[in-house]
Every structure is written in structure tokens, then in C-alpha cells.
Amino acid sequence: METETPNGDANEETKPNVPVAFDAQQQINAMLKDICEGRKPQDNGTDKASDLALDQLHYKDFPTLRQAVTKLAIKSHDKKLGVFIRACITAMVGTLNLYLDSELSYSWHEASLVVSKTQGQGSNHACNI
């Protein structure tokens, strides 16, 4: 319900929220545009110990990570696993694919942030991928 201020405008605090799906779609479109224009996603959060450790990964680790992507991709189709677990595995595969793509050169954190945003989540969710 909107209330009118003395000047006749609707009170900003009482306006209904924009539907989450629409907001998420706008974020995804903005991120895709940034990626197409060569800009990397930004996250102003602080780095955690796990982020710092993952940022130390070296190109020599890539073959092992590519093997992990292959195994995870197969596992993500396992109908015996719950939907939530399969969604988590899919997010991991997406993050690894972005991280391992030499044309993009995303850091581990940037890759997980992109996947998180495509799922309509934020940087806190990116830390859980």
C-alpha cells in the first residue's frame, strides 16, 4: 500500500518491491553486457582465507581441475542425488568452467561471483560455491 506525502508523491518506503525475478534478470543482463564489453565483475567484499588460498592456484593445477570438472559434470546428472546437491554441483562446474577459460582469465572469486549472480544470488552465495 502506498501512502501520499504532503506534496502528493507516493512515499518511497511503502512502494511495493520490484519482483525478485525481474531484479535478478536485470542483474544478469547487466553482467552479461559487462562481460561482452570486457569488464570483469566487481565485488567489494573482503577476501576470506579460502579466497586467498584459491587465488594461489597455478596453471599447473589446471589439468587436475579439468578432470574434476569432467567428473562433476557427470555426477550432476545423477538422478540419485537430490535437486539441491545437483544444483550445487552445477554451480561448481560453472565456476570451474569460467575459471579455467583462458580467454576470460577470471580469478576464482570472480568466476564464483558470476555464477552466483546468474542464480539470482549475491557475493555471500558466491563464497558457498
Q: What is the pLDDT of residues 55-114, one digit of tens each?
A: 666 656 788 889 999 999 999 999 999 999 998 899 999 999 998 898 888 888 888 888
Task: Locate 95 and state its grid cell.
Answer: 565456476
Q: State the pLDDT at residue 44.
A: 59
Count other C-beta atoms under 10 Å from residue 92's C-beta.
19
Q: How far apart are CA 50 and CA 109, in angstroms?
A: 10
Average per-residue pLDDT in the chain? 75
Contacts of 111 (CB under 8 A, 6+ apart): 95, 96, 98, 99, 104
pLDDT above 70 covers a percentage of the chain that reads 65
Report whether pLDDT(123) > 50: yes
104 three-state secondary structure: coil
Q: State the pLDDT at residue 22.
A: 60
pTM summary value: 0.53
Task: Locate 29 and state its grid cell.
Answer: 543482463
Q: How far apart are CA 29 and CA 15, in angstroms?
A: 24
